[in-house]
Amino acid sequence: MLIHIVRPGDTLYKIGQRYGVSAERLITDNAISNPERLMVGQAIVVPVTSVRHTVLAGESLYSIAQMYSVTVDAIAAANPQITNPAQIFAGQVITIPLSDEKIGSIYVNGYVFPGISTDTLQKTLPNLTFISIFSYEVRADGSLSNLNDRPIIDAARAANVAPLMVITNIREGGGFSGDIAHAVLTNEAAQNNLINNILQTLPKGYYGINVDFEYIFPYDRESYNQFIARLTETLKAQGYIVTTSLAPKISADQQGTLYEAHDYPFHGRTVDFVILMTYEWGYTYGPAQAVAPLNEVRRVLDYAVTAIPPEKILMGIPNYGYDWTLPFVQGSSARVLSNTAAANLASSVGAEIKFDLKAQSPFFNYFDNNGNEHVVWFEDARSIRAKLYTVNEYGLAGVSYWTLNSYFPQNWIVLNSMYNVIKVL
């Protein structure tokens, strides 16, 4: 696999001709809605094992090797006509072998809502270790909301994907509630009721549980730790795994309701996997920026691996982008859109796609029909590849996607070119 960045004059036909791939394959693998209109800067995944490269003036085997992430020796071995690697000339056509060796094996989790389409679910499942079905909402008395999870559980099991039950402290009508968490964490009867309800639900076909309690009051930190310890001991005795979702902290003493009750070292010692929610720097009601800028993600990982065994960490990756109206006004909201919809929007409005090297994220600007300027930040094959390299760099267990209800084929092509997906079923 390689990633081709569209240049002026490129068409799908020309790209296909260059790499020996059909335009139809490129359309499918990149979910392109308007094949006649590629945008400059657009990332196109090309499924090939080798490339024919025409040497340009000033290029060397070293610079070409850097361009394709291969070694000079590999290029020389694939081109016996090159007798002196230090002497290549402009116009010479050489073969670039692309490595099909995987970096390693990782765990892959993805959150889904019951409304996921059957087609998207079936195309996504082969790429997963776990599927976390969102969510059973916990009530103050320890009871649980209803969830139509049976179809996803059955489909996951049939595909050898392990379903995880997700519990949240989301109130009726939406929004995480510190009051609900406090009621359950500090009342023994409510907590007993919650654990009993969990034990009654898991036999539906679940492999384990994901606890996603957010905006817990800071003074409930130890109560939350005690609950996680009790739940883990109870469920592991029954053969289930326990995972927790944690806010993206950069230090142990980070201030804020989102962060203070999430005790990285304790969760790292206690549960099987920790999911770091490394996204939402750019969010619905905030100023425009990348959703998961890699420089910020790395700050979280720098702290996380000092507090949690890296082999227990699943790094969060967003499967969405945002469209902001500019200038940003406090109280206004961005429009959420899928990554494929973002690229197709750039095509429909004729916007050049740019790439922020610091954030390792793509973005573009456009004007709507009313003359308002917009900026869209999203993920593409380049940003996904950068994030996945980071998993290997830090020695993490794997990744976790929020959410998988929209299909993003580029992501899975990139991931499967780099890693084998671990299966536990």
Q: How many CA atoms lie within 13 A of 249 on its CB side?
A: 26
Q: Do 305 and 394 meet the contact criterion of CB atoms below 8 Å apart?
A: yes
Which CA distances in Å does 365 have to 106, 255, 322, 381? Answer: 35, 34, 12, 19
List, in sequence order, every beta strand (DSSP E) within 331-396: 335-337, 354-356, 361-367, 373-377
State the greatest distance between any 2 C-alpha atoms of the chain, in Å, as a whole number: 79
At 72 the three-state DSSP class reads: helix
Q: How far apart are CA 306 and CA 354, in angstroms?
A: 34
Backbone angles phi, psi at 314, to 5 degrees: -110, 120
List 214, 260, 296, 379, catalytic entry = 214
| Beta pairing partners, 109 | 130, 400
Write out the two tokens for 25. Answer: 């394959």
Q: How far apart are CA 394 and CA 314, in angstroms?
A: 11
Closest CA to 324 of 361, 290, 360, 274: 290
| Residue 373 appears among annotated catalytic residues | no
- Looking at the annotation, which residues are catalytic? 214
